[in-house]
A and B are shown apart, each in its own frame.
Chain A
Amino acid sequence: EAGVAQSPRYKIIEKRQSVAFWCNPISGHATLYWYQQILGQGPKLLIQFQNNGVVDDSQLPKDRFSAERLKGVDSTLKIQPAKLEDSAVYLCASSLKAGGTHSEAETQYFGPGTRLLVL
């Protein structure tokens, strides 16, 4: 079974430029997540989708970040304009479901991440 795919793996941009990341979840996984991991920290959730609807975007800086999952499968995360503090690894994850019970069906599987450096 193929894992979560992300591209690009690395990106270097200058501040105020825009950048987009792509994620394709594990086949059949209804729930998709984007996390930001700053160096030396654990990942922080930016946005969670259930199919093509947003479940949680409370920590997404909406003035510059946007994300979509139009057909309920793959997703893009965009930053426009980028700031120096956006330098981080952007991780995409997916899970079979995100119901109210705790079970292994809610386990999140991560992609390889995109390392972004903003100069």
Chain B
Amino acid sequence: AQKITQTQPGMFVQEKEAVTLDCTYDTSDQSYGLFWYKQPSSGEMIFLIYQGSYDEQNATEGRYSLNFQKARKSANLVISASQLGDSAMYFCAMRHTGGGNKLTFGTGTQLKVEL
């Protein structure tokens, strides 16, 4: 069974600094997809970045990059130049391959950006 583990319940970072949010996963599938979502206090899940298991390069989207280490089964999110608006809950998720498009989510990391 697929499983996502986020071991950091809460993180603090200074404004303009970079921060890494950890995510490890467990799957026996050869082909899978990994996603990061941001959830502000308003509740909406905002898609940030996607990494396919066969992608040779780490995904990047603006200030977000995904540090994908396949052998270690980790998919850490790196946010560069943190802004106050980055304060939110961050979820790592994995797409199942066994039919459909089901996502399994981790428990999330609450990020707080400080002045």
Contacts and interface: CB of A to CB of B under 8 A. Distances in A.
Given A103-B52, A104-B50, A56 B45 contact: no
A91 to B, nearest CB: 6
A10 to B, nearest CB: 10
B25 interface: no
A112 B43 contact: yes
Contact of B43 (A89, A100, A103, A104): A89
Contacts of B106: 42
B19 interface: no
Contact of A56 (B50, B54, B97, B100): B100
A111 B99 CA distance: 23
A113 B44 contact: yes
B52 A108 contact: no
B47 interface: yes
B4, B45, B93, B108 pick with most chain A CB within 10 angstroms: B45
Interface stretch (B10-18, B28-36, B65-73, B74-82): B28-36
A111 to B, nearest CB: 7
Contact of A100 (B46, B47, B50, B97): B97
Contacts of B42: 112
B111 to A, nearest CB: 15
B102 interface: yes
Q: Which bucket holds chain A's interface residue count?
A: 20 to 34
B103 interface: yes
Given A45-B103, A108-B103, A102 B47 contact: no
A83 interface: no
Contacts of B97: 100, 102
A31 B50 CA distance: 18
Interface in A97-119: 98, 100, 102-104, 106-113, 115
A56 B99 contact: yes
B58 interface: no
Interface in A29-80: 31, 33, 40-45, 48, 50, 55-56
A103 B105 CA distance: 18
